[in-house]
Amino acid sequence: MVNTYGTIQFMAKPSIASTGVVVGPVEKESSFAEEFDEILPLENEKDETFERANTRFIEKACEVTIRKAHEQMENIDVFIGGDLINQLSPTNFAARQLSIPFLGVFSACASSMESVILGSLLLESGNARSVIAGASSHHPAVERQFRYPLEYGSQKPGTAQWTVTAAGYALLQKQAKNAPIITHATIGRVVDGGQTDPLHMGAAMAPAARDTIERHLTNTNSRMADYDVIMTGDLGKIGLSILKEMFQDEDSGVILQDAGAQFYGEKSFYNAGASGAGCSAAVFFSYVYNQLKNGVFNRVLLVATGALLSPLTFQQGETIPCIAHAIECRMEKRG
């Protein structure tokens, strides 16, 4: 393990052995719908609270992940996960059910990459053989905590994003067969672009994404064109165009992509696109992972961005600090 200016280079070839993505009913409108492992017909079952439903999504995603790798729950050493609800209660409650040694992480919508980085570090140091890592978000549960009651009519501006209902988890193992390996990771710095509008997250998160991507490129001594795709988590359509504008790189136009901007395609109902911890997790662990496995992509940079605000801080007039964590994945040529 080598750390240069915040970018970690993994030597032990931690790899993503399998993934599991479980999404809610609204997400069947997603342009990635075919890639998801399971689409549940209901956001919550009768008499089930949204928080409890969020827990169920996480449990389900973990089960799918482990089943696809033909592993047993008992053989997993550590479970790392996060979500957006206060005190991480859904993930904590899922850990109660799974009874795997558990680390809860929070960096808002960047939680997915944070847990993968931590998992890779555990593998690298030899302290674990199998780690399950990921994140989730649940639209109604998140909405009621951060914004207004679900049935409250408030006009959403074009910059607003739709928090997805999704749980995405990945099983990390050293040198799994025919699986993409994680070569580098860049831990993000908290960057504040001075934005205050909680309905314009893309603008708030773009500086954090730029900071992480730029540091990653410098530290690994590479250029944008070296990657098949650099995919950010949930900047949304407007956030992505802000990021592209900030780079002014001739390659940024095609290579920079955003999971949130593509999640719901061009449907105007979702305004600027998707967001939420589950958004980056779902897209990275389904679409991007499958493309890597099928050899369409060989080298990708996944950057999950998170806005570290709470309903209290923006009412208190604080600006929105943001963070972005990145991992670089490669698919080794099959020999």
Partner 1 sequence: MEQKQFDKIVDQQTPKTPLFVNMLKAFLVGGIICTIGQLITFFYIRFFPFTERTAANPTVATMVFIAMILTGTGLYKKISQIGGAGSAVPVTGFGNAVISASIEHKPEGYVLGIGGNMFKLAGSVIVFGVVSAFFVALIKTILVKLGVVSW
Partner 2 sequence: MISSLITSFVVGGLICVVGQILMDVFKLTPAHTLSTLVVSGSILDGFGLYEPLIDFAGAGATIPITSFGNSLTHGALAEAEKHGLIGVLTGMFEVTSSGISAAIIFGVIGAFIFQNSKTTY
Q: Which residues bind partner 2 (CB under 8 A)?
A: 24-26, 41-44, 46, 48, 140, 150-151, 154-155, 197, 269
If you search the block for the tokens 């002014």, which residue do you land on?
Answer: 248
From 80, 102, 58, 302, select the one nearest 171 (Cα to Cα).
80
Least distance in angstroms from the C-beta of 262 to partner 2 = 19
In angstroms, the CA 271 to CA 22 distance is 23
Least distance in angstroms from the C-beta of 42 to partner 2 = 6
If contact means CB under 5 to 8 A according to the sort of partner, which of partner 1, partner 2, none does residue 186 touch? none
Q: Output 41 or 335, the one with its CB closest to partner 2.
A: 41
Q: Output 25 or 148, the one with its CB closest to partner 1.
A: 148
5 lies in the site for partner 1, by CB under 8 A = no
List binders of partner 1 among 237-256 (CB under 8 A). 238, 241-242, 245-246
Residues 114, 302 contacting (CB under 8 angstroms): no
Phi/psi-derived region of residue 277, left when phi > 0, alpha when psi is between -120 and 50, beta in every other case: alpha
List binders of partner 1 among 219-238 (CB under 8 A). 238
Q: Output 99 or 154, the one with its CB closest to partner 1.
A: 154
In angstroms, the CA 96 to CA 168 distance is 18
Q: Output 19 or 195, the one with its CB closest to partner 1.
A: 195
For β-strands 38-39 and 256-258, DSSP reports them as unpaired
Side chain identity at 117, as an amino acid letter? I
User: Pseudo-torsion of CA 272, 276, 279, 284, nearest 10°?
Assistant: 120
Q: Output 14 or 90, the one with its CB closest to partner 2.
A: 90
The tokens for 323 are 């963070």
Q: Output 103 or 246, the one with its CB closest to partner 1.
A: 246
User: Is residue 280 within a helix (H) or strand (E), and if so which, with residue range?
Assistant: helix 277-283
64 lies in the site for partner 1, by CB under 8 A = no
If contact means CB under 5 to 8 A according to the sort of partner, which of partner 2, partner 1, none does residue 207 touch? partner 1
Residues 6+ apart with CB under 8 A from 149: none
Residues 135, 77 contacting (CB under 8 angstroms): no
Least distance in angstroms from the C-beta of 209 to partner 1 = 12
List binders of partner 1 among 144-183 (CB under 8 A). 144, 148-159
Helices (H) and strands (E) in the chain, counts: 11, 16
If contact means CB under 5 to 8 A according to the sort of partner, which of partner 1, partner 2, none does residue 138 touch? none
Q: Which stretches of the chain bind partner 1, using CB under 8 A?
A: 49, 144, 148-159, 193-195, 200, 203, 206-207, 210, 238, 241-242, 245-246
